Amino acid sequence: MRRCAGGVRGGGCEEGRDEGRIALLSLGFALVALVLVLVVVSASAVHLQRKRLYALADSAAADAADALDEEAYFTTGPAAGAVPLSDASVRASAQEHVRAAGAARPAGLRVAAGTGSPDGRTAVVVLSAVVVPPFAALVPERFAGGVELRASSRAVARLEGVAAAGG
């Protein structure tokens, strides 16, 4: 902006102090945009890990639903057309499924408390993992160590035609 002593068109104009403010403003906006991109990338990475954890919990529950508790099956038989399950058989099946998942599993993944069979027919799998955002140095200290994610899933395996087979 110019300040002119002799009118708008006259001589004696001197430069104002607005030089370089556009560069500073552009730098500020670029910094804000960069921080927003880093936050979105970190949030997206955590969200994708959460989706992966849910998918793994679903597949582990489906696998654990047919983890037959042999002792209960041979002593009492199938209960109301469902595979008889126990906490131990569901937990063992879930742990084996998580081990076999390999690269699909997040780091620090574990089968959490609550995994088992509450009614002897339903397999409940609870998985827990700590996910560290890609740009953890930029987040508050509370989240720098990672974000704990939990996913649970339920599944029931039905026995079709067991009573008709006379077994």
pLDDT along the chain (167 residues), means of 10: 54 58 89 90 89 92 83 67 81 90 75 87 91 73 77 84 43
Total tally of structural domains belonging to the chain: 1
Residue 10 lies in a domain: no
pLDDT at position 61: 92
Residue 5 lies in a domain: no
Residue 39 lies in a domain: yes
Count of all residues that appear for the chain in the document: 167
Q: What is the C-alpha separation between 52 and 100, in angstroms, rounded?
A: 15
pLDDT at position 82: 67
Q: What is the C-alpha separation between 92 and 116, in angstroms, rounded?
A: 9
Q: What is the C-alpha separation between 99 and 63, in angstroms, rounded?
A: 13
Q: What is the C-alpha separation between 30 and 32, in angstroms, rounded?
A: 5
Residue 119 lies in a domain: yes
Q: E strand or H helix at 29, and its extent?
A: helix 21-64
The residue among 37, 65, 71, 50 whose CA lies nearest residue 128 is 50
Residue 95 lies in a domain: yes
Residue 1 lies in a domain: no
Residue 13 lies in a domain: no
Q: What is the C-alpha separation between 80 and 94, in angstroms, rounded?
A: 24
pLDDT at position 42: 84
Rg (the chain; Cα; Å): 30
pLDDT at position 145: 74
3-state secondary structure of 145: coil
- Residue 159: how many other CB atoms lie within 10 Å: 18
pLDDT at position 86: 84
Q: Which residues contact 58 (CB under 8 A, 6 or more apart)?
A: 153, 155
The residue among 54, 48, 40, 42 whose CA lies nearest residue 126 is 54
Range of the domain at 108: 19-165
